[in-house]
Amino acid sequence: MTKIEWMSVRLGTLAFNVTAFQMALPSNACAIIALAMDELQAIAAEVRACQRCALAASRKHAVPGEGPADAEIMLIGEGPGFHEDQQGRPFVGPSGQFLNELLASAGYRREQVFIANVVKCRPPGNRDPLPEEIAACDEYLERQIRAINPKVIVTLGRYSMAKFFSGAKISAIHGKARRVNGRVVVAMYHPAAALHQPALREAVEEDFRRLPEIIRQAAQEAEADPPSGAASGGEQLSLF
């Protein structure tokens, strides 16, 4: 059944995109989406009040993530930067503008995907997130993945890639869809990498253009072998 309306609901610093369906949509599907929305709202409230690591002391706003509860695609970046910390939203600076362009090239709008990070607060000076900071946020991210149950997870950058592909090199696996613990995961360069290294831009753009094909393949495989379990670790099960 096609979606007929997108409504943006602002909850504190987190924007949720609520999908309105035609009345013929099965009630169980509506109930699943409603439960997912409730869980995402609960996670957002916990993240905004979180004191699990030292990043809480330096943040202006935590950045839980945003997007529809029934998103087919979940993008996972590394961590908030200056602009994200100011607004409490992911990917709103120059990298976010480029990300919007990349999504559009694949036929998607930002409002159709869920965007999160491996850490929910900005590391001071935009430094790399520390292992203990990533570990402190991991429960939130796992719960978001379970709630949304996306068809495809796209990691942006090496820190989010490492969650699923431990020890891998992004230059070797970027743009290749792999099944990890029952979920389809695609490692891609962070949009900021292409902004800072123009030589990477073509590869980044090509990887995003392949997203519709990856979604179709994931849907076909899901019909034959439904995914189970949470997305965690880094066991590489298949490549297609």
Which neighbouring-strand residues pair with 21?
3
Cβ proximity of 130 and 208 under 8 Å: no
Query: What confidence tens digit (pLDDT) does each residue in 145-195 have?
Result: 999 999 999 999 999 999 999 999 999 999 999 999 999 999 999 999 999
pLDDT at 46: 98
Q: Does 4 have pLDDT greater than 70? A: no
Q: Does 201 have pLDDT greater than 80? A: yes
d(CA 40, CA 96): 21
Mean pLDDT of 20-37: 72
Q: What is the CATH number of the domain that holds 144?
A: 3.40.470.10
> What residues contact 70, with CB distance under 8 A and at least 6 apart?
19, 33, 36, 148
Of 187, 181, 186, 160, give the one whose Cα is nearest residue 230.
181
> Is 48 strand, coil or helix?
helix
d(CA 53, CA 51): 6
Count the domains in the chain: 1
Q: Domain limits at 202?
A: 3-239
pLDDT at 237: 37
Q: Does 220 have pLDDT greater than 90? A: no
Mean pLDDT of 15-30: 53
Q: How confident is the model at residue 26 (pLDDT cuts 50, 70, 90)?
A: low
H-assigned helices in the chain: 27-48, 55-58, 82-87, 94-105, 131-148, 158-164, 170-173, 191-196, 201-209, 211-224
Q: How confident is the model at residue 28 (pLDDT cuts 50, 70, 90)?
A: confident
Q: Does 112 have pLDDT greater than 80? A: yes
d(CA 120, CA 84): 10
Q: How confident is the model at residue 202 (pLDDT cuts 50, 70, 90)?
A: very high
The residue assigned the tokens 């290749």 is 176
Range 200-203 contact pairs with CB under 8 angstroms and sequence separation of 24 or more: 203/174, 203/175
* Complete DSSP assignment for 197-234: -GGGHHHHHHHHHTHHHHHHHHHHHHHHS---S---S-
The residue assigned the tokens 């992004």 is 170
